[in-house]
């Protein structure tokens, strides 16, 4: 299933500039899912574009003025880390007693590209991340000949302790690579294109480390507000497994070696 869409800049009836994302034949609820995530982050204090309109095949958003964006510097990077930490703090505080991990709005699954992601609510991070996502995605990749059978054995060996100490769920961006963070003309940071759900904050931290693009001041700013628990660096491979597996499924075996390294690093070095 192709999820290639189009983007354009338009003006609303009142002349307001807007950013339009369109996808003909989008899966049911495709843009509603993104709009829900943007609103959830906005409600928690994050700087995100306003949603002007959402339909089955398009989304109209506030246009972010990046025409003359300044280069990211230490101050901007530190501010971004602090803002992300505040989002995670606010998400934990907003979680209801007994809040489960998974979808914000009760949907059973979502797509990252063409990869189906299980977001059924689960009482523990392990069930949500490993049983509902990592293991099925690994099995899918193996069945398509993209990973060796050893990958399933390693995924089946994952245990709750590989994910670190228990924390309440928070609202995570869910796809926080550098392209989904923008800096406007004033130097303010914005979050875009989320795949929000109730998750673990180290998911966002790990995703930021996967492809780079964030300076060390981001982490410094983050830990000023919400220090990470001991061992978070060693857990990065575990929390990178879902995006790595998605890349294997979408783009082929070129990501297989990175995925296998992450599985080995998680299971064998942290057993």
pLDDT confidence of 4, banded at 50, 70, 90?
Answer: low
> Helices in 177-230 by DSSP H: which ranges?
201-211, 216-225
Output the six-digit token pair for 147. Answer: 């990973």
Contacts of 110 (CB under 8 A, 6+ apart): 33, 103, 116, 117, 119, 195, 197
> Which domains occur in the chain, in start order?
65-267 (3.90.1200.10)
pLDDT digits 0-9 by tens, 176-194? 999 999 999 999 999 999 9
Place of tokens 């993104």: 34
Q: pTM for this structure?
A: 0.94
- The average pLDDT across 110-137 equals 90
In this structure, the dihedral spanned by the alpha carbons of residues 179, 180, 183 and 184, taken in order and rounded to 10 degrees, is 110
CA–CA distance, 167 with 200 (Å, rounded to integer) = 7
Dump pLDDT digits (tens) for 31-82. 999 999 999 999 999 999 999 999 999 999 999 998 776 667 999 999 999 9
User: What is the C-alpha separation between 134 and 158, in angstroms, rounded?
Assistant: 9
| Cβ atoms < 10 Å from Cβ of 266 | 26
Nearest residue to 137 via CA among 126, 125, 147: 147
**How high is the pLDDT of residue 1?**
39
How many residues comprise the chain?
Answer: 271
Q: Would you say 23 and 57 are in contact if contact means Cβ atoms under 8 Å apart? A: yes
Which helix (H) or strand (E) segment holds residue 109: the answer is: strand 109-112
Number of neighbours of residue 110 by Cβ within 10 angstroms = 21
């Amino acid at each position: 299933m192709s999820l290639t869409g189009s983007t354009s800049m338009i003006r609303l009836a009142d002349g307001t500039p807007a950013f339009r994302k369109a996808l003909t034949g989008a899966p049911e609820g495709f843009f509603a899912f993104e709009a829900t995530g943007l609103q959830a982050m906005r409600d928690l204090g994050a700087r995100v574009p306003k949603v002007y309109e959402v339909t089955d095949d398009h989304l109209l958003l506030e246009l972010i003025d990046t025409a003359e964006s300044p280069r990211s510097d230490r101050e901007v990077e530190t501010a971004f880390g602090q803002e992300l930490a505040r989002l995670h703090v606010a998400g934990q505080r907003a979680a209801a007693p007994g809040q489960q991990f998974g979808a914000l709005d009760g949907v059973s699954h979502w797509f990252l590209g063409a990869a189906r992601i299980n977001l059924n609510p689960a009482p523990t991070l392990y069930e949500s991340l490993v049983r509902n996502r990592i293991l099925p995605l690994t099995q899918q990749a193996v069945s398509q000949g993209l990973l060796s059978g050893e990958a399933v054995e390693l995924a089946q060996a994952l245990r709750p302790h590989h994910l670190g100490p228990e924390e309440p769920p928070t609202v995570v961006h869910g796809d926080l690579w550098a392209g989904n963070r923008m800096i406007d003309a004033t130097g303010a940071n914005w979050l875009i294109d989320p795949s929000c759900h109730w998750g673990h904050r180290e998911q966002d931290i790990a995703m930021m480390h996967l492809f780079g693009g964030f300076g060390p001041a981001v982490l410094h700013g983050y830990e000023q507000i919400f220090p990470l628990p001991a061992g978070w660096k060693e857990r990065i491979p575990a929390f990178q497994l879902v995006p790595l597996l998605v890349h294997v499924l979408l783009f082929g075996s070129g990501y297989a070696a990175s995925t296998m390294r992450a599985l080995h690093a998680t299971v064998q070095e942290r057993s």
